[in-house]
Copies of this chain bind each other. A is one copy, B any other.
Protein backbone atom coordinates (compact mmCIF):
# COMPACT_ATOMS: atom_id res chain seq x y z
CA UNK A 1 0.00 0.00 0.00
CA UNK A 2 1.23 3.47 -0.97
CA UNK A 3 -1.26 4.94 1.43
CA UNK A 4 0.57 5.59 4.70
CA UNK A 5 2.89 8.20 3.20
CA UNK A 6 0.04 10.22 1.75
CA UNK A 7 -1.74 10.01 5.06
CA UNK A 8 1.32 11.24 6.89
CA UNK A 9 1.69 14.10 4.45
CA UNK A 10 -1.97 14.99 4.91
CA UNK A 11 -1.61 14.86 8.65
CA UNK A 12 1.38 17.20 8.52
CA UNK A 13 -0.63 19.64 6.42
CA UNK A 14 -3.50 19.44 8.88
CA UNK A 15 -1.21 20.05 11.83
CA UNK A 16 0.50 22.99 10.12
CA UNK A 17 -2.83 24.46 9.14
CA UNK A 18 -4.22 24.09 12.65
CA UNK A 19 -1.14 25.81 13.99
CA UNK A 20 -1.56 28.59 11.44
CA UNK A 21 -5.25 29.06 12.22
CA UNK A 22 -4.39 29.40 15.88
CA UNK A 23 -1.59 31.90 15.32
CA UNK A 24 -3.29 33.97 12.61
CA UNK A 25 -6.38 34.13 14.77
CA UNK A 26 -4.37 35.47 17.69
CA UNK A 27 -1.75 37.71 16.08
CA UNK A 28 -3.02 38.42 12.60
CA UNK A 29 -1.50 37.64 9.22
CA UNK A 30 1.56 39.91 9.06
CA UNK A 31 2.58 39.36 12.67
CA UNK A 32 2.64 35.57 12.29
CA UNK A 33 5.81 34.20 10.71
CA UNK A 34 6.17 30.95 8.82
CA UNK A 35 8.85 29.86 11.29
CA UNK A 36 6.41 30.33 14.16
CA UNK A 37 3.76 28.27 12.40
CA UNK A 38 6.10 25.33 11.83
CA UNK A 39 7.76 25.55 15.24
CA UNK A 40 4.39 25.67 16.98
CA UNK A 41 3.42 22.49 15.12
CA UNK A 42 6.76 20.75 15.79
CA UNK A 43 8.28 20.94 12.29
CA UNK A 44 11.15 22.75 10.62
CA UNK A 45 10.54 25.80 8.48
CA UNK A 46 11.38 24.01 5.25
CA UNK A 47 8.50 21.59 5.69
CA UNK A 48 6.04 24.41 5.21
CA UNK A 49 7.15 25.00 1.62
CA UNK A 50 6.70 21.37 0.70
CA UNK A 51 2.97 21.86 1.19
CA UNK A 52 2.37 25.47 0.18
CA UNK A 53 4.19 27.82 -2.17
CA UNK A 54 3.79 30.82 0.11
CA UNK A 55 2.26 32.15 3.30
CA UNK A 56 -0.37 33.84 1.12
CA UNK A 57 -1.43 30.52 -0.36
CA UNK A 58 -2.00 28.93 3.04
CA UNK A 59 -3.97 31.93 4.19
CA UNK A 60 -6.20 31.76 1.12
CA UNK A 61 -6.91 28.11 1.89
CA UNK A 62 -7.89 28.99 5.44
CA UNK A 63 -10.12 31.81 4.22
CA UNK A 64 -11.80 29.52 1.73
CA UNK A 65 -12.51 26.93 4.38
CA UNK A 66 -13.80 29.46 6.90
CA UNK A 67 -16.08 31.15 4.39
CA UNK A 68 -17.46 27.78 3.33
CA UNK A 69 -18.31 27.00 6.95
CA UNK A 70 -19.99 30.37 7.41
CA UNK A 71 -22.03 29.93 4.26
CA UNK A 72 -23.11 26.40 5.00
CA UNK A 73 -24.66 27.75 8.18
CA UNK A 74 -26.24 30.71 6.46
CA UNK A 75 -27.60 29.79 3.04
CA UNK A 76 -30.48 27.55 4.14
CA UNK A 77 -31.79 30.35 6.36
CA UNK A 78 -31.63 33.07 3.73
CA UNK A 79 -33.43 31.01 1.14
CA UNK A 80 -36.41 30.91 3.48
CA UNK A 81 -36.78 34.72 3.49
CA UNK A 82 -40.06 36.19 2.21
CA UNK A 83 -39.07 39.77 1.48
CA UNK A 84 -36.02 42.03 1.21
CA UNK A 85 -36.11 43.14 4.82
CA UNK A 86 -36.18 39.58 6.06
CA UNK A 87 -33.32 38.60 3.73
CA UNK A 88 -31.24 41.55 4.91
CA UNK A 89 -31.88 40.68 8.54
CA UNK A 90 -30.70 37.14 8.00
CA UNK A 91 -27.63 38.40 6.15
CA UNK A 92 -26.81 40.67 9.08
CA UNK A 93 -27.35 37.91 11.63
CA UNK A 94 -24.69 36.14 9.59
CA UNK A 95 -22.37 39.15 9.48
CA UNK A 96 -22.68 39.50 13.24
CA UNK A 97 -21.61 35.91 13.79
CA UNK A 98 -18.56 36.62 11.63
CA UNK A 99 -17.78 39.72 13.65
CA UNK A 100 -17.98 37.62 16.79
CA UNK A 101 -15.63 34.90 15.46
CA UNK A 102 -12.60 36.07 17.45
CA UNK A 103 -11.00 38.76 15.34
CA UNK A 104 -11.12 36.94 12.04
CA UNK A 105 -13.08 39.69 10.35
CA UNK A 106 -10.23 42.12 11.06
CA UNK A 107 -7.72 39.56 9.81
CA UNK A 108 -9.69 39.10 6.58
CA UNK A 109 -9.60 42.86 6.25
CA UNK A 110 -5.84 42.93 6.85
CA UNK A 111 -5.28 40.32 4.15
CA UNK A 112 -7.64 42.07 1.75
CA UNK A 113 -5.52 45.22 1.92
CA UNK A 114 -2.32 43.16 1.79
CA UNK A 115 -3.55 41.58 -1.43
CA UNK A 116 -3.57 44.97 -3.13
CA UNK A 117 0.20 44.62 -3.63
CA UNK A 118 -0.19 41.80 -6.13
CA UNK A 119 -2.29 41.74 -9.27
CA UNK A 120 -2.71 37.99 -8.96
CA UNK A 121 -3.88 38.20 -5.37
CA UNK A 122 -6.25 41.04 -6.24
CA UNK A 123 -7.89 38.93 -8.92
CA UNK A 124 -8.19 36.02 -6.51
CA UNK A 125 -9.70 38.21 -3.82
CA UNK A 126 -12.45 39.22 -6.21
CA UNK A 127 -13.56 35.60 -6.39
CA UNK A 128 -16.49 34.85 -4.18
CA UNK A 129 -14.83 31.95 -2.39
CA UNK A 130 -12.39 34.42 -0.84
CA UNK A 131 -14.72 37.35 -0.15
CA UNK A 132 -18.04 37.81 1.59
CA UNK A 133 -19.04 40.22 -1.02
CA UNK A 134 -20.80 41.54 -4.08
CA UNK A 135 -22.02 38.56 -6.06
CA UNK A 136 -22.95 36.52 -3.01
CA UNK A 137 -25.10 39.16 -1.37
CA UNK A 138 -26.52 40.11 -4.74
CA UNK A 139 -27.69 36.55 -5.31
CA UNK A 140 -29.24 36.34 -1.86
CA UNK A 141 -31.14 39.55 -2.34
CA UNK A 142 -32.06 39.35 -6.03
CA UNK A 143 -35.36 37.52 -5.64
CA UNK A 144 -36.67 40.24 -3.35
CA UNK A 145 -35.67 43.38 -5.20
CA UNK A 146 -38.79 45.18 -6.44
CA UNK A 147 -37.09 48.07 -8.28
CA UNK A 148 -34.73 48.20 -11.23
CA UNK A 149 -31.83 49.06 -8.94
CA UNK A 150 -29.14 46.42 -9.69
CA UNK A 151 -28.96 43.75 -6.97
CA UNK A 152 -25.17 43.70 -7.47
CA UNK A 153 -25.01 47.28 -6.25
CA UNK A 154 -27.20 46.52 -3.25
CA UNK A 155 -24.77 43.74 -2.38
CA UNK A 156 -21.70 45.88 -2.96
CA UNK A 157 -23.04 48.80 -0.88
CA UNK A 158 -23.79 46.36 1.91
CA UNK A 159 -20.24 45.03 1.77
CA UNK A 160 -18.80 48.54 1.70
CA UNK A 161 -20.70 49.52 4.82
CA UNK A 162 -19.72 46.32 6.60
CA UNK A 163 -16.03 46.59 5.72
CA UNK A 164 -15.99 50.29 6.52
CA UNK A 165 -17.30 49.35 9.94
CA UNK A 166 -14.52 46.78 10.27
CA UNK A 167 -11.95 49.54 9.76
CA UNK A 168 -13.74 51.67 12.33
CA UNK A 169 -13.72 48.76 14.76
CA UNK A 170 -10.13 47.79 14.05
CA UNK A 171 -9.00 51.26 15.04
CA UNK A 172 -10.94 50.91 18.27
CA UNK A 173 -13.20 53.85 17.54
CA UNK A 174 -16.32 53.65 19.68
CA UNK A 175 -18.81 55.86 17.84
CA UNK A 176 -20.61 53.14 15.90
CA UNK A 177 -22.11 49.88 17.13
CA UNK A 178 -22.80 46.98 14.83
CA UNK A 179 -26.47 47.68 15.45
CA UNK A 180 -26.08 51.18 14.00
CA UNK A 181 -24.46 49.79 10.88
CA UNK A 182 -26.97 47.00 10.54
CA UNK A 183 -29.88 49.44 10.67
CA UNK A 184 -28.16 51.75 8.19
CA UNK A 185 -27.41 48.92 5.76
CA UNK A 186 -30.95 47.58 5.87
CA UNK A 187 -32.43 51.05 5.45
CA UNK A 188 -30.17 51.60 2.46
CA UNK A 189 -31.08 48.28 0.86
CA UNK A 190 -34.79 48.94 1.34
CA UNK A 191 -34.52 52.48 -0.03
CA UNK A 192 -32.88 51.13 -3.16
CA UNK A 193 -34.61 47.82 -3.61
CA UNK A 194 -38.13 48.03 -2.15
CA UNK A 195 -41.20 49.48 -3.92
CA UNK A 196 -41.57 53.24 -3.31
CA UNK A 197 -38.57 54.83 -1.62
Distance in Å from the Cβ of A185 to the closest Cβ of chain B? 9
CB atoms of A171 and B125 under 8 A apart: yes
A153 partner, pick from B134, B176, B191, beta carbons under 8 A: B176
Complex Cα distance, B147 from A88, in Å, reads 25
A134 CB contact (under 8 Å) in B115, B160, B175: B175
The count of chain A contact residues (Cβ–Cβ below 8 Å) is 45
Question: Is the CB–CB distance between B173 and A134 below 8 Å?
Answer: yes
Contact with B along A152-174 (1 / 0, CB 8 A): 11011101111111011011110
* Given known contacts A163-B164, A181-B160, A184-B157, A116 and B171 CB-to-CB distance under 8 angstroms: yes
Query: Contacts A106-B116, A117-B30, A160-B176 hold; do A122 and B181 have CB atoms under 8 A apart?
Result: no
Mostly, the A contact residues are: helix
Chain B residues closer than 8 Å to A167, beta-carbon distance: 109, 112-113, 160, 163-164
Contact B115 A171, beta carbon cutoff 8 Å: yes
Chain B residues with CB under 8 Å of A153's CB are: 175-176, 180
Indicate the member of A110, A112, A152, A161 with the most B CB atoms within 10 Å.
A161
Contact B126 A171 (CB under 8 A): yes
Which residues of chain B are near A155, meaning CB under 8 Å? 175
A110: nearest chain-B partner, CB-CB: B113
Give chain B residues whose Cβ lies under 8 Å from the Cβ of A110: 113, 116
Chain B residues with CB under 8 A of A133: 173
Minimum Cβ distance to chain B for residue A137 (Å):
11
Whole-angstrom distance between the Cβ of A107 and the nearest chain B Cβ = 10
Inter-subunit contact A28/B115 (CB<8 Å): no
Chain A residues engaging chain B, CB cutoff 8 angstroms: 28, 30-31, 106, 109-110, 112-113, 115-117, 122-123, 125-126, 133-134, 150, 152-153, 155-157, 159-165, 167-168, 170-173, 175-176, 180-181, 184, 187-188, 191-192
